[in-house]
A and B are shown apart, each in its own frame.
Chain A
Amino acid sequence: GAGVSQSPRYKVAKRGQDVALRCDPISGHVSLFWYQQALGQGPEFLTYFQNEAQLDKSGLPSDRFFAERPEGSVSTLKIQRTQQEDSAVYLCASRERTGNTEAFFGQGTRLTVV
């Protein structure tokens, strides 16, 4: 596709449920990022992939959060046993190559935990 695509756009989960959020980066983009944006706040870094390698996961808030990119393309962010504080917009971004180049963001997945 022309841009970064995320699905679903909206997700409502009951507390304790597991969820999986998908990101389709721009084709051929090497770098992929996940950010979490709480209501009224700026995005906060979660994790970074270079191809299939997860090089930085320092922003994942707990071991309930897990991200993968097994073939260096599509990525999935999984949240286990969701809690209300996980409610946020989850943003994915991709970048053509490493280094000081522009990252392109998707529209995000809005997760609401009830």
Chain B
Amino acid sequence: GDSVTQMEGPVTLSEEAFLTINCTYTATGYPSLFWYVQYPGEGLQLLLKATKADDKGSNKGFEATYRKETTSFHLEKGSVQVSDSAVYFCALRREYNFNKFYFGSGTKLNVKP
């Protein structure tokens, strides 16, 4: 069945460090891929998405590229800030079903000043 696997956390970085959070997926066809972020005490927020192979999603300095050949959608940011501390979820949605997300287990990011 469809699934998402992401690296376990927590990930602890110093401010201005480079961030990578790995995400791989299993799905048939061409799913859409997403990164959601959950700040402390808040609901899930869409961070970025990509709907087809080789698309790059970007927002707030974060980027992720949809790699069909490696079934991956790794999240990157060149210089993290303390305010980026949150839990990050990778998710997929099937090609012809817009009504169900499959989420990874989440990766907690701690950024220290």
Interface string of B75-113 (1 = CB under 8 A from A): 000000000000001010000001111111110000000
Chain B residues within 8 Å of A98, by CB: 98-99
Asked if B43 and A43 make an inter-chain contact with CB atoms under 8 angstroms apart, the answer reads no
Q: Is A3 in contact with chain B by the CB < 8 A criterion?
A: yes
Q: Is A31 in contact with chain B by the CB < 8 A criterion?
A: yes
Q: Is B46 in contact with chain A by the CB < 8 A criterion?
A: yes
Interface centre among B4, B46, B99, B100 (most CB of A within 10 A): B99
Question: Of A33, A56, A59, A100, which one neighbours B51 at CB under 8 angstroms?
Answer: A100
Asked if B43 and A42 make an inter-chain contact with CB atoms under 8 angstroms apart, the answer reads no
Q: Determine how close the nearest CB of chain A comes to the CB of B25; give it in whole angstroms.
A: 12
Chain B residues within 8 Å of A40, by CB: 105-106
Least CB separation from A44: chain B residue: B103
Chain A residues within 8 Å of B100, by CB: 45, 48, 56, 59
Knowing A91-B44, A102-B46, the reply to whether A42 touches B32 (Cβ < 8 A) is: no
Q: Is A2 in contact with chain B by the CB < 8 A criterion?
A: no
Asked if A41 and B106 make an inter-chain contact with CB atoms under 8 angstroms apart, the answer reads yes
Asked if A31 and B99 make an inter-chain contact with CB atoms under 8 angstroms apart, the answer reads yes
The segment out of A11-19, A70-78, A105-113 that lies at the interface is A105-113
Least CB separation from A6: chain B residue: B43
Asked if A43 and B98 make an inter-chain contact with CB atoms under 8 angstroms apart, the answer reads no
Question: Of A41, A43, A55, which one neighbours B44 at CB under 8 angstroms?
Answer: A43
Q: Is B61 in contact with chain A by the CB < 8 A criterion?
A: no
Interface string of A42-54 (1 = CB under 8 A from B): 1111001000000
Q: Is B69 in contact with chain A by the CB < 8 A criterion?
A: no
Interface centre among B44, B51, B98, B101 (most CB of A within 10 A): B44
Asked if A100 and B43 make an inter-chain contact with CB atoms under 8 angstroms apart, the answer reads no
Residues of chain B having any CB pair with chain A under 8 Å: 4, 32, 36, 41-46, 51, 89, 91, 98-106
13 A-B pairs within 8 Å (CB atoms) are namely A4-B43, A33-B99, A35-B103, A43-B89, A44-B103, A56-B99, A59-B100, A93-B44, A100-B51, A103-B101, A105-B36, A106-B43, A107-B41
